[in-house]
Structure 1
Amino acid sequence: MFRLTSRGIAGLVLVAAMAGCASGSVVPASLQAQIDKTLTFPQLRESPDTYRGHLIVLGGEVLSAKRLKDGTRIEVLEIPLDRSLRPEADRTLSQGRFIAVQKEFLDPATIPPGTTITLVGEVTGSVADKLDETDYTYPTVEIKSLKVWPRGDTMSRIPYYYYPPSYYWRPYYHTFGRIRR
């Protein structure tokens, strides 16, 4: 009969945790090698037709989503991505807007305005449209992979230096390393 010891339980927990981390990738492995990591949003905004066919990782905040006959059109406020490929919390870092098109059915109710997203998209060119009272050229991408981030998960994004120091790290709380008198 198999006996589950504390080491066995710890090993199972470690394997499960590592499997959970590995499966949470924003970019699918099948697209990882195809992405143009040198392409930035300012370059794309300046000359979208030059980069037609390139795959890029973009993120931002959904401004609007509209269902069309042949897909869903999403207007996104571009926000730079952090190391985990999640859009930064500060909207003032935005460098413009872009249009993302999902060819398969995507209900606009699932991505209401204010939703943060990260996507892998193929550059398809640009489209000129009105932005308030001015003409604006939106770079356009066809969505290959889409990650919708849950709302309200800002606590995990606070840098470590904002956390208060733990009292366990103060020397008078440790039993080791004390000066004997």
Structure 2
Amino acid sequence: MWRNLFIVAALALAGCATMPNELQVPEGTSLAAYNLAREGQEVGKTARWGGVITNVTNFKDKTRIEVVFTPLSNSGKPRLDEPSPGRFYAYIKGFVDPVSVPKGYRIALIGQVLPSEKGKVGDFEYTYPVVLIQNFKLWAPEQQVDYYYNGPGPWGPWGPWGPWWGGPYGYGYWGAYGHGPYRARITGPQAPKPGHPMPPPEQGNHPQGKPPSNSSKPATNKSVSVPASHQRSAPQKQR
């Protein structure tokens, strides 16, 4: 019952979420759409955009922040559960130390749309929508922790001594080797989903279309075992 009440309360609070003061605009303001700005439209309109910072460049009289665009939640925080349609440049007048706007941080901003600029992502020619920042808010990267079922001990959920006592090493419901049924897996920090899949490698680059054996492999997720303070030794067999 308490769990259900907690879920209802959380949903009610989520429904009442409002934009932070840094991201609020006067009532009736028409906000610029990112997709239209990519086509050269929306110049002069107010934008409330956000995403993940990928690069920061300091010029003589301004600072440029390159951002991978993502939609904003009702509370103004950039969401990472939807594909990103692209990138944009956000300018701040004057000098801003890159340490103050680190790569990987999420940013949400209010600003005025300026004419687009040509740039590059690697060697790829890219047209960036541009915003002159009036105000912004940052969020540090988050590590996502997933909990998954680890199963009972080798003798079942109650251990070898039955469901009531758990035996001298069981200490309750899970019995020997139980240690609780869940484990944690760290999978963060999160990154925005790509809007378009990467093209497959050309067949001529690798024999039989396979990458070289020394190609890098993505890091696997780490599993965090139950803390040692909660672990119990298995009972030793008596001779």
Shorter-chain TM-score above 0.5: yes
* Structure 1: gaps spanning 5 or more residues: 1-20, 156-181
CA shift in 2, pair 1:154/1:100, >3 Å: same
Runs of 4+ in 1 over 3 A off after TM superposition: 21-24
CA shift in 2, pair 1:71/1:82, >3 Å: same
In 1, are the aligned partners of 2:50 and 2:72 still within 8 Å (CA)? Answer: yes
Deviations 1:6-26 (A, max 9, x none): xxxxxxxxxxxxxxx999434
- Report whether the alignment pairs 1:82 with 2:73: yes
> Which residue in 1 is equivalent to 2:48?
57
Give me the whole-angstrom Cα distance separating, in 2, the residues matched to 1:144 and 1:60: 16
Between Structure 1 and Structure 2, how many residues are aligned? Answer: 131
Q: Which has the higher contact order (CA 8 A, sep 6+)?
A: 1
Q: How does 1:17-166 map to 2 (within 5 A)?
A: 24-28=20-24, 31-33=25-27, 35-37=29-31, 39-47=32-40, 50-90=41-81, 93-152=83-142
CA shift in 2, pair 1:69/1:129, >3 Å: same
> Which residue in 2 is equivalent to 1:170?
none
Structure 2: which amino acid aligns with 1:152?
E
Q: CA RMSD in A?
A: 2.7
Deviations 1:26-73 (A, max 9, x none): 424xx4347423x321111122xx322111100000000011111110
Deviation for aligned residue 1:132: 1.8
In 2, are the aligned partners of 1:58 and 1:120 still within 8 Å (CA)? Answer: yes
Structure 1: which amino acid aligns with 2:30?
D
* Structure 2: gaps spanning 5 or more residues: 1-16, 146-239
Deviations 1:102-127 (A, max 9, x none): 00332111111101000001011111
In 1, are the aligned partners of 2:20 and 2:76 still within 8 Å (CA)? Answer: no
Structure 2: which amino acid aligns with 1:139?
P
TM-score, normalised relative to structure 2: 0.49
